[in-house]
Structure 1
Amino acid sequence: MEDVLNDWKRFSLLEEETNRVTLDDDNPNALEVFLAAKFLTRRALNIEAIGRTLKPLWKIQNGFEIRDVGNHIILFVFDNDSDAERILATEPWTYDKHLILLSCYDGSGPIWSIRFHSVKFWVQLHGLPINRLNEKTAYEIGRSLGEVSSAAQVGELFGGDFLRIRVGVNVTRPLNRGRKVFLGKDGEVWVTFRYEKMPNFCYWCGMVSHEAKECSVWLSSKGSLSLNQQEYGAWLRADPFSVGKKSFMFVSGTRGDFGGIDGMARSS
């Protein structure tokens, strides 16, 4: 239907259909801010249930509007940019243990033209030698996975014996499990990816769009596959990292520091 409507130029129009309707610039919806959302759950959506779920999580002071536009797409309407930006900055969000794919939407085009393809995750990078745990390494490996978001502070990138990087992950492809990383004269290592706040995904094919029981790989096998043949698993999930619990800091040197006991001794 959408293709037909979009291809109206090939029709022989009726006389009445050639009449043009002109809308003026006085648009009462011009100040609204939109976020379009694709819900990956297979269940029917209930906007009241969605509102009850997201209200305590999003904590929007002035509230927000929810519009169900079909095909598991929901339009969230806010009265300011800051609320929408904050929600995008704290992805991923889930509903019914499945991902919500969010996209900025200016309201000027048809809703079905939006392409939902990526979600920002904090991805943990495990398996690197200690002497390679630095900001440069985090960003280089992160860029091989997707569009990297700059960290607000360097400490966000360090998790003790692993690195973290915030990346826009392409969810139309199977989840990446890791990377081969060449270390020059030190050889090569396998770096395992673990995703913070990762909801349900398929352990057979690595897609976030469905669960294992709905996967074509499993269904076509007619039950002949065993669980030890799954190439993905819960090990791809990581517990959210608490930035407040520091695992990284710099202690300044004593040069120029004349306080404390030594300073008192020199001044006596």
Structure 2
Amino acid sequence: MASYELSNYHGTCFSPTNPDSVILDKIPLWICFDGLLLEHYNRITGGRVASAAGSVVSILPEDGLPKNNDGFRAKVRVDVNRPIKKGTYAESIERGDTWVAFRYPNLPALH
């Protein structure tokens, strides 16, 4: 990295990135959950359920309970080389394993 100063302008020059060295194997996606029970409505459980889809980046809402129909939402980094998960099982105290389906709103076209 080299620095140059030209008539009161200070800039930095970077060498360009070799396109062959860039690997785009994960994309961030938002997911919503269908089938969460009342006992699952906390950020810890939401994070555990979301981790079945990929590595969790964030969970909304950040505090408290969801205030809209979407419920908890999670932003996850999904591996583009694997099929998108349709859902996962979450443990329930009274019902045993319960299926929680994933919805991917505004899913980009992956051709």
TM-score range, shorter chain: 0.7 to 0.9
* Larger RCO (CA under 8 A, 6+ residues apart): 2
Percentage of pairs with the same residue: 25
**Structure-2 separation of matches of 1:145 and 1:193:** 8
Q: CA RMSD for the aligned pairs?
A: 3.0
Distance, in Å, in 2 between the alignment partners of 1:157 and 1:145 is 22
75, 80, 86: which one pairs with 1:177? 86
Give the match for residue 98 of structure 2: 189
1:81-120 correspondence runs (5 A): 107=16, 110-120=18-28
**Structure 2 contact 47–74 (Cα < 8 Å) conserved:** yes
**C-alpha spacing 1:130/1:184, structure 2 compared with 1 (3 Å):** closer
Structure-2 change in CA distance of 1:157 and 1:140 (3 Å): farther
The one-letter code sitting in structure 2 at the alignment partner of 1:140 is R
Residue 137 of structure 1 aligns with which residue? 45
Q: Highest Rg: 1 or 2? A: 1
Whether the 8 Å CA contact 1:151–1:157 is kept in 2: the answer is no
Q: 1:187 to 1:166 in 2, by over 3 A?
A: same
Q: SS state of the match for residue 45, structure 2?
A: helix
Q: Distance in 2 between matches of 1:157 and 1:170?
A: 29
Query: Larger strand proportion, structure 1 or 2?
Result: 2
Q: Unaligned stretches of 5+ in structure 2?
A: 5-10
Report the CA distance between 1:177 and its aligned residue: 0.8
1:193 & 1:152 partners in 2: Cα distance? 15
Which position in structure 2 is the counterpart of 1:199? Answer: 108
SS at match of 1:137: helix
CA distance 1:175–1:156, change in 2 (3 Å): farther
For structure 1, list consecutive stretches of 5 or more residues without a partner in the other structure: 1-24, 33-105, 201-207, 211-268
Task: Work out the number of aligned pairs and report it.
Answer: 104
After the TM superposition, which residues 223-234 of structure 1 pair with which residues of structure 2 at under 5 Å, given as runs? none
Contact persistence 1:124–1:196 (CA under 8 A): yes
Match of 1:26 in 2: 2
User: In the alignment, which residue of structure 1 is the partner of 2:73?
Assistant: 164
- TM-score, normalisation: structure 1: 0.33
Q: Name the one with the larger helix percent.
A: 1
Aligned-pair distance for 1:187?
Answer: 1.0
Give the CA deviation at 1:129.
1.1
